[in-house]
Amino acid sequence: MAIISVRDLVVEYDGRRVLDGLNLDIQQGETMVLLGGSGSGKSTLLRQIIGLERPKSGSVHVKGIDITRCSQAELKTVHRSIGVAFQSAALFNSLSVEDNVALTLREHTKLAPSIIELMVWMKLALVGLADFGKLRPQELSGGMKKRAAVARALALSPEILVLDEPSAGLDPIVAAELDELILLLKEAFQMTVVVVTHEMPSAFRIADRIAMLYKGTFRSIGTKEEIRASRDVRVRHFLDRIPENLTEAPATTAYFEKYLQSPEAN
């Protein structure tokens, strides 16, 4: 049974359809990469999967609970089994890095402070930040912030780890380090990992399966090999880095052609 199951998901903002009838199953223990260009709807889909927004129609089942219709109490239970690292890291600037990681442990468990301290150290050591726990988030580099966000997401040892654009804004070496960290976490904890990205090297390094989004619909869902071999024109454009305006007349060309044909230009 799929740990995350998206069915006929439709999301609209002010009447504009952002996600159009999506269906997706994510199996327990797999790494699913949601790939797509800017504005394709991948972050919107992620917000639906983690229960931050409610759709216009359709459902999202996480561990068998429909989080689009469940009560707040059920949603909280689901949230405790999901760890999320946001694109901006979203660390609490008023707290130190170790307090950020310790927050959920202090609030949601009855563990002794010494045990929490040890667990926080372990999570920070796992992401290579054991010596930086006392620092404030604003004192960290971009890559360190992302790793700290992953450590915080791992605090309650969740079954599902969700990462929004983990390599965005990072140099290739730091991005590659983060990819290796994701692989290590999956290997070590057998987690289900959902990653949103538009970085293809990263996607093909970490994914078990890739779902390619284009303008709110899935163009292709499959393994890395299946996606690489895809004949879908949009997938090919994305993989081969072909700008869309080579196949369609760009808006500016159309405008000038129309202008040149008008009496005003003649």
Q: Which residues bind another protein (CB under 8 A)?
A: 47, 50-52, 72, 76-77, 79-80, 82, 84, 86-88, 90-93, 103-104, 106-108
Strands 31-36, 192-197: pairing kind? parallel
Question: In angstroms, what is the minimal distance from the CB of 38 to another protein?
Answer: 17
- Could you tell me the smallest distance in angstroms from the CB atom of residue 107 to another protein? 6
For another protein, which is the closer residue by CB, 102 or 175? 102
For the range 11-20, what are the long-range contacts, defined as Cβ-Cβ under 8 Å and sequence gap of 24 or more? 11/41, 11/44, 11/48, 11/53, 11/55, 11/56, 11/216, 12/56, 17/216, 18/44, 18/216, 19/44, 19/45, 19/48, 19/55, 19/216, 19/217, 20/215, 20/216, 20/217
Q: How far apart are CA 139 and CA 132, in angstroms?
A: 9
Judged by beta carbon, residue 88 or residue 190, the one nearer another protein is 88
Going by DSSP bridges, is the β-strand pair 2-13/65-66 parallel, antiparallel, or unpaired? unpaired
d(Cα 242, Cα 231) in Å, to the nearest integer?
14
Q: How far is the CB of 14 from another protein (least distance, A)?
A: 12
Nearest CA to 146 among 113, 179, 183, 108?
179
Minimum CB separation of residue 117 from another protein in Å reads 16
Min dist CB 265 to another protein, Å, is 37
CA distance 105 to 102: 5
- Closest to another protein by CB, 31 vs 100, is 100
- Closest C-alpha to 165, from 60, 51, 42: 42
State the minimum distance, in angstroms, from the CB of residue 154 to another protein: 12
Separation of alpha carbons 248 and 265, rounded Å:
24
CA–CA gap between residue 197 and residue 46 (Å, rounded): 11
Nearer of residues 17 and 80 to another protein, judged by Cβ: 80
Nearer to another protein, 169 or 250 (CB): 169
- Least separation in angstroms between residue 246's CB and another protein is 33
Nearer to another protein, 90 or 130 (CB): 90
Nearer to another protein, 144 or 235 (CB): 144
